[in-house]
Amino acid sequence: MNLTMLKAKLHRAAVTQCDLHYEGSISIDKDLLEKSGILPNEQVDVLNINNGERFTTYAIEAPAGSRMIGINGAGARKAQVGDLVIIIAYAQMSEEEAKSYTPRVVLMGEGNAVV
């Protein structure tokens, strides 16, 4: 049996832009992707702390050092610039693997700086 476990999380990231007319996805600063272990094109869930909205999309790379968290496409209807979000990636693993796996959790602070 495989379990779906938390792989990585960016906690309390601030949305820096919303682009309704982009084809979709969430743009995440390349440095934040690397710190969290989330890969470009990986499926993620986005949980909006401000309004309770949740949606699934995929991550794309924003320029390194930009601290960008950009909600694109239809997801842009579920967030506003300044909203705090939690971005979560999951992984499938056996129960045995899950018992020893530690997810990467990146806590975000002011201006999307890593705390």
Residues 6+ away with beta carbon under 8 Å from 59: 25, 26, 28, 33, 38, 39, 40, 41, 42, 44, 87, 89
Residues 6+ away with beta carbon under 8 Å from 22: 70, 72, 73, 76
Is 22 among the residues known to form the active site?
no
Spatial contact of 79 and 16, defined as CB atoms under 8 Å apart = no
Cβ-based neighbour number of residue 10 at 10 Å: 29
Is 36 among the residues known to form the active site?
no
Q: Which sequence positions are flagged as catalytic?
A: 25, 58
